[in-house]
Structure 1
């Protein structure tokens, strides 16, 4: 990662038409900055933060660009596992499961390798329609209990596990995520992950016909507020509100769900729209 940081920073600096002198601001040498950008040396965190400040970049913006540009292993893993679960691609999940199993055996000192292996196992079991091993769920929940403030990784772990939890555990950890992510939730990507998880919680409670619990999370999402750029989350909220109304006996709720599917289709997300149409078709008759 060290060798890539400087090269990626150079792309962003040049895109803003800034010189080496502009970003170092005489705080350290141009030669040191030049070597950093060529991937030949690293910088202290203080100097790196100074570079970001002088480039008018937030750390979160840089991290997001880095993830998308370099396709880091964690970024790729999280993205591919989420998509594989959505389309029920068991082979893709198995590929990651075997990968992390091997990595955890080679690097026993790196705890998150084992956690990623267990997350993959849980995802595989739930995607295949089975139940994950109780011990695997306990390991992940114990890890989450020990972390006082959840960042993206912890929110992601919970999102994988939530459908496997019983009502009491789901209720408990659903409250925990709202409290434990408070420190980080102002970061845009974290905020998006929290909103998605709240929506998934509402969807899980609707599936379990616990309408009061579902309403709690729908209202929490509205309290947080969905930024205009979070198109998918805004449509999902409206869709789930329609489902909630339908389960209450209001037939207009089904029409709201259909309108959401049409909106998704109109914007080119054909597969996602078809999945919604299928779900609506399978709704129980009131």
Structure 2
């Protein structure tokens, strides 16, 4: 197959694969198996040749590494090698703690990178960070053009993947309520196969919880209750303990907003459990909201 003159092999794939192979205690022969030669694998690890996609997937299976694990390791490695790479963990942490200084720095890096990278993903990442900043500081209004691009991208999806689900969850407060309801229904379309994947279930629950909280905040109680019933029907697993706790909190918050003042005790109990578990950033978010409720009396 012909290659363009500017084409170069990405050595990072082989470097990372070699680290993972060795971490699993696998020899070249054990990793290659019967699919290809040890020499071919060695050349790949040293950036001298490539592997076809089906051989690469076979290789990952042979060393007991999932494609998701490899991608996460790859992204973390890029971040450590390149100061202009930003990890999702950094973004999520800055979002939770309201660290706008950090988010502004991330945005600056992305906007700088966009001069060389004109991909749709890069454009969406810039909009995502702007949207997160806007949710923390409402004076930083997300441009209408960004909202339109984001909405258009999400509405044309036939299958929602992990990135798309997370994107809606982090940007949900920037949409008008009607658009958000439409996008949420589109995301939860039962005809899809990707949202049922175990690897996507966690982020799906988190996103539904974010949207539910936003609906409650804006007195969209019927819409919020539909999401509560959705989570009840899919039966959030016990291994998602934080999400189960936030689900209980949001359900009690809806009850409180509908006039059940005894629900305040449930809200406080959720806060106490988070503090007991050492989840102080999350507990602080709940504490501020509970204080607001008490001051409304």
TM-score normalised by structure 1 residue count: 0.88
Tell me by how many angstroms 1:143 deviates: 1.5
Bigger relative contact order, structure 1 or 2, given CA contacts below 8 A and separation 6+? 2
Residue 162 (str. 1) matches residue 160 (str. 2): no
Distance 1:51 1:44 in 2: 11
What is the DSSP-based 3-state SS (H/G/I as helix, E as strand, rest coil) of the residue aligned with 1:149?
Answer: coil
Matched with 2:5 is none
What CA RMSD, in Å, does the superposition of the two structures yield over aligned residues? 2.6
Residue 106 (str. 1) matches residue 112 (str. 2): no
Q: Is the 8 A contact 2:169 2:208 kept in 1?
A: no
What is the DSSP-based 3-state SS (H/G/I as helix, E as strand, rest coil) of the residue aligned with 2:114?
Answer: helix
Structure 2's unaligned 5+ residue stretches are 1-8
Structure 1's unaligned 5+ residue stretches are none
Q: Deviations over 1:151-176 (max 9, x none)?
A: 12222222232111112111101101
Q: Deviations over 1:22-80 (max 9, x none)?
A: 23222211111123234443311111111122234432343344445654889944333
Matched with 1:267 is 277
Residue 153 (str. 1) matches residue 163 (str. 2): yes
Distance 1:175 1:235 in 2: 24
Distance 1:2 1:232 in 2: 38
Tell me by how many angstroms 1:279 deviates: 1.1
Q: Deviations over 1:227-261 (max 9, x none)?
A: 33222211111111121221222233111111111
Aligned residues: 285
Matched with 2:260 is 250
TM-score normalised by structure 2 residue count: 0.85
Distance 2:184 2:85 in 1: 24
Larger helix percent? 1
Residue 48 (str. 1) matches residue 56 (str. 2): yes
Q: Deviations over 1:104-125 (max 9, x none)?
A: 22333x2222222222222222
Distance 2:93 2:59 in 1: 35
Distance 1:107 1:57 in 2: 30
Q: Given the alignment, which residue of 24, 30, 35 partners 2:38?
A: 30
What is the DSSP-based 3-state SS (H/G/I as helix, E as strand, rest coil) of the residue aligned with 1:282?
Answer: helix
Tell me by how many angstroms 1:14 deviates: 3.4
